[in-house]
Structure 1
Amino acid sequence: MVDLESRQAIADLSEALLACRPMIERLDAPVRVATGGVATGGAADPLPVANRVAAALGLPQLAAAGDGDGDDDGDGVFHGVVSDRIALGGLAAALARIPADSDAVAAQAARCAAADLASWCERVAVPVDGGAEVTAWVAGDPDAPAVVLSSACGMPARLAEPWLRHLAVGRRVVLWESRGMFGDLDGFRGDTDVDAQVADARAVLAALDLHGVHLVGLCGGAVVAARCAAAEPERVSSLSLWHGDFDLGDAAPKTDHQRNLLGLMDMAVAAPDQAESMHEVVCQSMLGTVPADLAPLVLYPYLTAELFLRYCRLNSAIMHCDLTATLRDIAQPTLVVTSATDDTAHPQGSREVARRLAAATLVVNESGDHISLFRGDPGMLATLDEFLARTVVGAGR
């Protein structure tokens, strides 16, 4: 018999492992995790049950940090990121009470997997220019009004999962992942400029035959969304831009974060042979800078030197993209959202974008930043719902 606390521990561990899936699948196995001071090999060791959960989810096995060689190697920091996210030490006591022959482990893990993003979203491979492809995540009623998300460049779809879950109720929702950052990492040789990223967005709209779309742009994805809306007025009927990372010259000042990140990316793009050494420094500097619940997703683009370089190329292009001319071509109703306290993307950029658009509604919240954005802050989602309710959005097809 497995008690309720132990069943909940299995569910918590399953959900944490699934949230880490994009990172775990790129790390060398086994993934090394801390056990919170609980000795391995003893009666209270949580790893045997944890590995049964991982196996049930189709994920690589776990090992205790320090049990093998390489804990301080290049990807050791990311094993630590996964370890912090699953927080195995806190679950150890409940997991240790589960009998070795209990069927509850696989059953509970299966229930969590059935509710996971990968189960309720369809993944569609969309061919794009250069012989490459991008993955679109699609959910909801195909005949319902369509909302397409242009998420933060280079980030896994799971980072925007709260948006996908919310929008899939009563709508058709689509998100595509950035070119060259997922799938066959070794085989990608495509372009990384903004034109190519916009072409990917347009390819997704065409492949899914979407019309009357509301296009959502998050962070740097707002630049791609704006360019796509200007190029596709017949498919995109309305637009919203959330905490956008905008370049409008002197009219849109940068935060320290924007300036520092852009400087780093420009250095990597200019000297790709030095990207590996830069990557090592960046990995060490990232420790403790991102909340544990989001770190496995936000830090995904930094997993390897090659991934880091591609991320720099994609985002450097976005951050240098002056939207001045594009904004004159956007006639669709547009919601522009920022906050007075955003120290990641300067709020003045959003204010200036809204001022230059033909049909903009500007919302400047008193507080909020990119963390609340990607956690799917209820107030933000309510703001979007209100805008959609008064904006004509056509059917998904």
Structure 2
Amino acid sequence: MNHATNPADGTRIRFTTAGSEDRPCVLLVHGSALSSAVWRGFGYVKTLSRDFHLVMPDLRGHGRSDTPHGEDAYAMDAIVGDLLAVLDAVKVHRAHYVGYSFGARAGLALAVTAPERLSSLSLLGGSARPQRGAMDAMFFPDSADVLEREGMDGFVRAWEKQRRSPVDQATRSAFLENDARALAAYFRRSDREPGIDDETLESLALPVLAVAGSEDHLRVEDTRALSRTVSGARLAILRGVDHAETVAAALPAVETFLAARARRS
């Protein structure tokens, strides 16, 4: 496990790597309440490390990275700073980016802030829209309050009551390793994120793959809108898949997209 330090506030970001360093780099960024472990759990490392150098950070407040408890520590510009620090730490100027949910939103912000650092952008269950109410809609009402009051165990129990199926073991394990107070602060700050306007999205000039499950009622329409706004973006709708299932189900589409980008580079 390696680490990078965000120079703006000293937050330490842990990350792992896989695959040969002489291959094109792919930055894989997980979603809310998860960690970089999901990329192994759902087969991305096994599938992609043959052809790519994979760099997999734990976002601040998640996994083994630092877990500040102040809400403003989770502003999107801080997250972007973390990702740039990771790329600097591995001495990679340009990387392909794959982000799920929160990681997809962070990827869009990174693409707007530092487009020269990205070769392509794969967005799984992502959104460029304002996020007010999104966490409660994704999980359950008053989710931040439950995190603070009942911890991660209570959060997972409450979430399962809202789902159509039990939480898979890889996701459950990642959730339970989190700091509940840090996650609550992130949830509350995320609720204030303004999103990215269409004019800014239209200015993006890199290959984009936008993926969502047909049953991801929170994000599928946002993903469709994103694919229409970003010039040349490719859209993949995964039939019968909800938001939590998207990260696993998207792997074939991501593999095909990255392989095509690598051949052209």
* TM-score, normalised with respect to structure 2: 0.81
Alignment of 1:245-260 (within 5 A): 245-247=127-129, 259=137
Corresponding residue of 1:127:
5
Task: Report the AA paired with residue 167 of structure 2.
Answer: P
Distance in structure 1 (CA, Å) of the matches to 2:189 and 2:180 = 14
Question: Over aligned residues, Cα RMSD in angstroms?
Answer: 3.3
Change (3 A) 1:352 1:168: same
Residue 383 of structure 1 and its aligned partner are, at CA, apart by: 1.7
Native 8 Å contact 1:213 1:393 kept in 2: no
Task: Report the AA paired with residue 54 of structure 2.
Answer: V
Corresponding residue of 1:20:
none
Native 8 Å contact 2:69 2:182 kept in 1: no
* 116, 131, 139: which one aligns with 1:234: 116
* 15, 23, 44: which one aligns with 1:144: 23
Distance in structure 1 (CA, Å) of the matches to 2:156 and 2:27 = 32
Corresponding residue of 1:335:
209
Corresponding residue of 1:312:
187
Native 8 Å contact 1:144 1:172 kept in 2: yes
Aligned pair 1:383/2:264, yes or no?
no
Q: Deviations over 1:44-97 (max 9, x none)?
A: xxxxxxxxxxxxxxxxxxxxxxxxxxxxxxxxxxxxxxxxxxxxxxxxxxxxxx
Structure number with the bigger relative contact order (C-alpha 8 A, sep ≥ 6) is: 2
Q: Deviations over 1:351-382 (max 9, x none)?
A: 001111022111123222334334x33xx322
Distance in structure 2 (CA, Å) of the matches to 1:184 and 1:238 = 25
Alignment of 1:42-61 (within 5 A): none
Corresponding residue of 2:103:
221
Change (3 A) 1:229 1:179: same
* 261, 276, 291: which one aligns with 2:167: 291
Corresponding residue of 1:50:
none
Task: Report the AA paired with residue 206 of structure 2.
Answer: Q
Q: Deviations over 1:259-317 (max 9, x none)?
A: 3648525x64xxxxx9633658645524565434235335326x654244234245435
Native 8 Å contact 2:215 2:241 kept in 1: yes
Q: Deviations over 1:133-185 (max 9, x none)?
A: 10111111111011111210341211221222221111101111111334476
Task: Report the AA paired with residue 102 of structure 2.
Answer: G
Change (3 A) 1:281 1:230: same
Change (3 A) 1:259 1:202: same
Structure 2 residue runs without a partner (length 5+): none
Residue 131 of structure 1 and its aligned partner are, at CA, apart by: 1.6
Task: Report the AA paired with residue 230 of structure 2.
Answer: L
- Greater Rg, structure 1 or structure 2? 1
Distance in structure 2 (CA, Å) of the matches to 1:356 and 1:145 = 28
Distance in structure 2 (CA, Å) of the matches to 1:193 and 1:262 = 22
Corresponding residue of 1:264:
142
Distance in structure 1 (CA, Å) of the matches to 2:138 and 2:64 = 29
* 203, 207, 227: which one aligns with 1:354: 227
Residue 254 of structure 1 and its aligned partner are, at CA, apart by: 8.4
* TM-score, normalised with respect to structure 1: 0.56
SS in 1 for 2:37: helix
Distance in structure 2 (CA, Å) of the matches to 1:186 and 1:152 = 16
Native 8 Å contact 1:336 1:360 kept in 2: yes
